[in-house]
A and B are shown apart, each in its own frame.
Chain A
Amino acid sequence: MSLSPDDLDAIWLTLRLATTVTLLLLILATPIAWWLAKTDSWLKVPIGALVALPLVLPPTVLGFYLLVLMGPNGSIGEFTKALGLGTLPFTFSGLVIASMIYSLPFVVQPIQNAIQSIGDRPIEVAATLGAGPVDRFFSVVLPLAKPGFVTATILGFAHTVGEFGIVLMIGGSIPKETRVVSIQIYDHVEALQYGNAHFLAAIMLGFSFIVLLGLYGFQRKRSGEGLHYGR
């Protein structure tokens, strides 16, 4: 038993999706995390709750709303059509956007916690040493919050690899476009190809275990820093 070309396509697509989503999320989540860590605004609580929503919401609910919004009659759909981009559901781009929303809390929260645990003092010290805001971020915040960023990267990537419901709702099962590993396993099972399903499922199991092993090992080494998921 070995991987079929379809299986390999699914694995490749999954890796491409997870990498794209993680990179985009790090760029998007950092300012959100910064704002949540620093603000005194009353908006902090509602925005924080909004960011955390995907933690508790069934992926199908999120996927359903996105499907409606991004569909030809939804507001986002109208907008993307007006831009000449067509509609997003059942495309790789649509999947990237949905995955970003779904994995957002897993990236925002570790970064937010890391920034909070640094406190204001090192940033003030840097300012008194002549460092401007951008300089302060790269010379002080980033190195001190590194454990948070590493945790965020690992969790964002792993969580995107592991999603299913939202892909099913918004992506369907289009080879090389939206058929990721979890969908491929589902398709194998539906077709009663248990052998193929076993093989892919075992790979996912091994991957997930190794990722968490690496993450916990990293957190243990840096105990007291970043965030401790699952403990």
Chain B
Amino acid sequence: MVDEPSDIEQQIINARFQLMLTNKINGSFALDVEFSVPSEGVTAIFGESGSGKTTLLRCIAGLQKSNPAFLSFNGEVWQDRAIFKATHRRSIGYVFQEPSLFEHLTVMGNLSYAIKRASNKLNNTFYSQVIDVMGINDLLGQGTNQLSGGEKQRVAIARALLLQPKLLLMDEPLASLDVKRKLEILPYLEKLRASFGIPVFYVTHSVDEIMRLADRVIILEAGKLVNQGNVSELFSNINFPVQSRDDIGIVLDCNILEVDEQWQLMKVAFNGGQLWLPKRRDELSNSQCRLRILASDISVTLEAQRDTSILNQLPAEVIETVPEETWATTLLKVKTGDTILLARITNKSLSQLALSSGKKVWIQVKSAAIIR
């Protein structure tokens, strides 16, 4: 049992749910999850289909009864042995997997439905911001069946925001859309994240969405929480269960230190060094960015190289060597500063350079993708 929060003001979501669902088709499913996360930023709930992601989100929303259960939001108890706050009394916005607009109302009617029932009176600036960020100004007068799937989902997100909830719950909002529509909506979600300081639970099975949107991840497997942590920590873990071989790499949260307009480069700092990268769009110094560096984009040398075209060389120490059995390669876990990076080298190089734990090396970062 999660202890009741002692400090009423703490900005934390405490949750514990335990339930058993029996269904003629799928047999029985048990959810048994307990976690505590700060109520800010985006918390991704990640897992394969059938792992209980959606059920967990429905428990948080009060759409799914769970017993025993405990849920508190910033010290306010929404659910415990004696209390069950009904869904309509929880200050939440919920975006369902498939666009769920009311068909008997227009786009504006759908938005008004939320505005009328919002806990606070709508302020015009906020309204314009929501309409603007979601880019739905031109859709307001239309009927819901005239919209594309992507447009419907943007209206559904705007509708949830206009309720001015304290917590936003999103259940794979991109899953029902094709690749093109996904790419169309992702920027809106990134803007949502940046524009509204509202904590979000985001259910997904897409690693890409997590890297672009999430601050931390809760990983579910067969109804159990198997791992939890910040995105950058989790992706540095070789055992992170979801990466295919080509995708193995790490995620770094960096600070942009300076932007070099002459060479169109920028210098970023992370917990362990600095990197020069091509600037991608209108990055500003002192802002945050998130990088993805694949293991195949890092190479290892014993001495610092001169006269190399590679801009980024960092001193590092080998922590661990992990052979990849099916291929003639090995993954190296190397540490620079406080950060663990992954490098993939051939077994031949491993032997020639006589690499093993504790060895001091130089790593060369060939490229890094800016994902946020």
A residues near B (Cβ < 8 Å) are 121-122, 124-132, 135, 139-140, 143-144
Contacts and interface: CB of A to CB of B under 8 A. Distances in A.
Contacts of B93: 128
Given A125-B102, A130-B117, 20 more contacts: A121-B100, A122-B102, A124-B87, A125-B94, A127-B88, A128-B87, A128-B160, A128-B169, A129-B88, A129-B113, A129-B159, A129-B163, A130-B88, A131-B113, A131-B117, A135-B88, A135-B117, A139-B113, A140-B102, A144-B103
Contacts, number: 54
Contact of A129 (B63, B86, B104, B117): B117
A127 B163 CA distance: 12
B86 A127 contact: yes
Interface string B96-117: 1000101110000000011001
Number of contact residues on B: which range applies? 20 to 34
Contacts of A135: 88, 117
Interface of B: 61, 63, 86-88, 92-94, 96, 100, 102-104, 113-114, 117-119, 159-160, 163, 169
Nearest to A124: B63
Contacts of B169: 128
Contacts of B118: 130
B61 A128 contact: yes
A71 B4 CA distance: 64
Nearest to A129: B114
A127 B64 CA distance: 12
6 contacts: A125-B94, A128-B63, A128-B160, A129-B114, A129-B163, A131-B113
A130 B102 CA distance: 14
Tell which of A125, A129, A131, A132 has the most Cβ of chain B within 10 Å: A129
Nearest to B95: A128
B203 to A, nearest CB: 14
Given A130-B118, A143-B104, A144-B103, A125 B96 contact: yes
B102 A127 contact: no
B63 A127 contact: yes
Contacts of B117: 129-131, 135
A122 B94 CA distance: 12
A121 to B, nearest CB: 6
A144 B104 contact: yes
Nearest to B117: A130
B103 A128 contact: no
Tell which of B61, B88, B100, B118 has the most Cβ of chain A within 10 Å: B88
A130 B119 contact: yes
A121 B159 contact: no
Q: Which 4 A-B pairs have the closest CB atoms?
A: A130-B117, A128-B94, A127-B87, A143-B104
A132 B100 CA distance: 18
Contacts of B61: 128
A129 B86 CA distance: 12
B91 to A, nearest CB: 9
Tell which of B93, B113, B159 has the most Cβ of chain A within 10 Å: B113
Contacts of A126: 88, 102, 113
Tell which of A125, A128, A131 has the most Cβ of chain B within 10 Å: A128
A125 B100 contact: yes
A144 B117 CA distance: 19
Given A127-B63, A139-B113, A132 B88 contact: yes
A122 B100 contact: yes
Contacts of B103: 144
Contact of B88 (A122, A131, A140, A143): A131
B223 to A, nearest CB: 21
A165 B159 CA distance: 55
Contacts of A121: 96, 100
A134 to B, nearest CB: 11
Contacts of B87: 124, 127-128
